[in-house]
Amino acid sequence: MERFTRSQFPDTPFLFFTGKGGVGKTSVASSLSIAIAGEGKKVLLISTDPASNLQDIFGQTLSNTPTKIEGVDNLFALNLDPEQAAQHYKEQMVGPYREKLPEVVLQNMEEQLSGACTVEIAAFNEFAKLLTDRSVIENFDTIVFDTAPTGHTLRLLQLPSAWSTFLDDNTTGTSCLGPLKGLEPQREIYKEAVERLKSADQTALMLVTRPDVNPLKETARASNELFEIGIQNQILLVNGYMKDLNSNDEMEKAFIARQIKALELIPKELKQFEQYYLPFVPYSLSSMERMQAWMTDQDITHENEIEKGMTIPEVEEMIADYLERKPKIIFTMSKGGVGKTTVASYIALRLAEEGMHVHLTTTDPAAHLNWTFGDDKIKNVTVSRIDPKSEVANYEAEVLAKASETMNEEGLAFVQEDLASPCTEEIAVFRAFANVVENHKDEIIIIDTAPTGHTLLLLDATEAYHREISRSQGEIPLAVSNLLPRLRDANYTSVAIVTLPEATPVFEATRLQQDLQRAGLSVNWWVVNQTFSSIETTSPTLIQKQQAETKWFEEIKSFSNNQFVAIPWVKTPPVGTKGLHELKGEKNK
Amino acid sequence: MKKIHIYEPAMCCSTGVCGPSIDPELLRMSFVMNNLKKTDIEAERFNLTNEPNAFVENEAINQLLMSEGMDALPATFVDGELLCKGKYPTNAQFSQWSGLSEEELVQKPKVRLSLKGDA
């Protein structure tokens, strides 16, 4: 694999970056923008990060119009906050009715417009405006977006009947298109935006990932989805690849070996694209000088933070708490790519070893049954897997069978697209999960995915509504209605948020925590995975990494109210009983 | 011309797709409203998400919501008179209002079945 350098930059006017939080999308997008601007091209960099670290990087306040970046000729930046866009959109829909409709009614409307779909669509609306705004396009040579729209949003906008008959005379049901309806006047803009995204002369999609097994798999999925919609001009960027400098440090050698192994297993879907790497840096790329140096391979002065001597609690503290409190359900949750399945497996293993009866259920598509346990048979543990794909397929069949009794073809096409929405997958998985809980009443149940606050509120509202109109449970599965109140009972359910000691994962974790609180769930523990701070190393690179982590531990300590534990980075992927025991940390070995 | 107007709460999807299951009541309403439309009755549903304005313009529903809140929905008005609240009307009620038999009311429209795969 070659290093990503100037000669590999695509020369399309639009560049989109996609990848899970924490893979370095913003760093790569910013570095690239600085480099292109440095050659005299006029560049507009657009961030959609709600807590834009672009503002920190450039030390400037950004808004939703292009702002000149001081110190870099030809570079302008703009910040679109999708949450804010959704908020604005929601207000546009609800605002005119304030004072005119009672408060409870407004609340009901607002919650219905709080789903992932609304945020996605509101964000796309902002994208589309920029992508088709002549004054913007003609003013810049290159427009760089640090994030790309999802497949679901694009498909929704592409349904041929979307803007014609269905919205006009849809009496049989609203849908994810409910939120879309308010955007109807812009239909031509969307069409043009989507065409632009699909054209290889206009747009290049940069897939940013890490040299690790699961992130590579996730990237393959995202790539495939966008490829099928027609965005086929894709380039793979593996960020954080550590060059082998033949160090004698055991940890550094292991770190490199793990990366090489992961890259050998690169999913075949990704092999058709050009692939490049960007080097591992142990510090955060939080200034222009550092980013420029990173792109051009110059040596830069290393960050030299003084270690604050914080003691980092090990994961066994959390296990001790569980043994004492004995919650019935334990969720491990995160925004992907930080190892929640591993953490769930570790908790299951340890509680079982202490004599508790445990049922572990996973939705991780990357995990085979018993994957994390390897071939080891473990006493007191049963394992099951909820396959989101087949749960959605079952649910889809059920829904379509019923919907086709009343709907015409356009209506059905919409229902089908709704079924591909993130909310639907969550609901389908939640139903399956409720059955697991019902069937394993005598065991502690550990699950590696948790529903979002919106899903819980939605289920709640629907349940109350069903009870009201049909004076019965309606068709709400009993397992679901039994489970809802228990999730809010802190003695019954415990939530552990999994994160990494880095900017984006920590930020995403705080958002998850807020979202759950909105639905009345409380978070008990934060688990900081893959930390270098708790390992012994002589590698200068890894020592710097340890220092860079200090800041994030401080933040986590405060966000978690001091309820956090850390898991060390380990030399080989933690598989099997022995592998999982490596996660304990030094003093518990 | 008789007018049957039903005011419904905001639903993410009234198909129930985003809810935990398809709601048979909502399905029944789809049948009934479709069949009523074939007659000369003005049969309309107003969903809070899509048509909040309808809730403002109709003073009676606005008042009802002020005094009873969301529990009053769904609410059905026949020729401007509130005849059913907190639940959907029964087929017997619809039959009485429309003159159609209960069987005619829930007759399934003829549509091509699943178009799965070619959307």
Token pair for A448: 């590696």
Residue A50: per-residue pLDDT? 63
C-beta atoms surrounding A345 within 10 Å: 31
Residue of B nearest to A168 (CA): B50
Between CA A369 and CA A118 the distance in angstroms is: 35
Taking CA atoms, A191 is separated from A132, A186, A411, A415, in Å, by 10, 9, 21, 21
Between CA A83 and CA A77 the distance in angstroms is: 19
The 10s digit of each residue's pLDDT in A189-229 is 778 888 888 999 999 999 999 998 888 988 998 899 899 88
Quick check: ipTM above 0.95? no
Interface mutation target, options B12, B37, B59, chain A, most CBs of A under 10 Å: B12
* % of chain A with per-residue pLDDT over 70: 80
Q: Is the model's pLDDT at A569 over the cut of 50?
A: yes
Q: Is the model's pLDDT at A570 over the cut of 70?
A: yes
Which positions in chain B touch A458 (Cβ < 8 Å)? 12, 18-19
Residues ≥6 apart with Cβ < 8 Å to A112 = A178, B10, B11, B12, B48, B49
Between CA A574 and CA A371 the distance in angstroms is: 10
Residue of A nearest to B106 (CA): A406
Chain CA centroid to CA A499, Å: 11
Residue A156: per-residue pLDDT? 66
Q: Position A218: which residue type? A: E
In the predicted model, what is the mean pLDDT of residues A31-50?
A: 88
Token pair for A195: 């065409």
Q: Is the model's pLDDT at A508 over the cut of 80?
A: yes
Half-sphere exposure of A241 (CA within 13 A, CB side): 20
Closest-CA distance of chain A to residue B79, Å? 20
Please answer whether residues A512 and A334 qualify as being in contact, where contact means their C-beta atoms are separated by less than 8 angstroms.
Answer: yes
| Nearest Cα residue to A144 out of A157, A130, A129 | A130
Q: How far separated are the first and last CA of chain B, in Å rounded?
A: 38
Q: Position A406: which residue type? A: T
Between CA A338 and CA A25 the distance in angstroms is: 16
- Nearest by CB to residue A175, choosing from B17, B55, B115, is B17
Positions of A marked active-site: 22, 24-27, 49, 504
| Nearest Cα residue to B1 out of B39, B32, B38 | B39
Token pair for B2: 């008789």
Q: Position A365: which residue type? A: P
Q: Is the model's pLDDT at A287 over the cut of 80?
A: no
- CB pair distance less than 8 Å for A459 and B66: no
Closest-CA distance of chain B to residue A537, Å? 50
> How does residue A184 score in pLDDT terms, banded at 50, 70 and 90?
low
Residue of A nearest to B86 (CA): A469
Between CA A435 and CA A334 the distance in angstroms is: 22
- Nearest by CB to residue A406, choosing from B34, B55, B88, is B34
* % of chain B with per-residue pLDDT over 70: 77
Interface mutation target, options A465, A473, A480, A487, chain B, most CBs of B under 10 Å: A465
Between CA B51 and CA B58 the distance in angstroms is: 12
Please answer whether residues A330 and A299 qualify as being in contact, where contact means their C-beta atoms are separated by less than 8 angstroms.
Answer: no
Q: Is the model's pLDDT at A328 over the cut of 90?
A: yes
Please answer whether residues B7 and B84 qualify as being in contact, where contact means their C-beta atoms are separated by less than 8 angstroms.
Answer: no
B30–chain A Cβ distance below 8 A for any pair:
yes
Instruction: Tell the burial category of A449 from Cβ atoms under 10 Å away from its Cβ (0-12, 13-18, 19+).
Output: buried
pTM exceeding the 0.90 threshold for the entire prediction = no
SS3 B81: strand
The 10s digit of each residue's pLDDT in A436-452 is 888 998 999 998 876 77
Closest-CA distance of chain A to residue B37, Å? 11
Interface mutation target, options A168, A172, A473, chain B, most CBs of B under 10 Å: A172
Residues ≥6 apart with Cβ < 8 Å to A226 = A18, A148, A151, A154, A205, A234
In the predicted model, what is the mean pLDDT of residues A83-108?
A: 82
The 10s digit of each residue's pLDDT in A452-481 is 766 676 666 555 544 444 433 345 667 777
- CB pair distance less than 8 Å for B49 and A465: no
Closest-CA distance of chain A to residue B96, Å? 20
Residue of A nearest to B62 (CA): A101
Please answer whether residues A332 and A344 qualify as being in contact, where contact means their C-beta atoms are separated by less than 8 angstroms.
Answer: yes
Residue A392: per-residue pLDDT? 82
| Nearest Cα residue to A454 out of A387, A517, A361 | A517
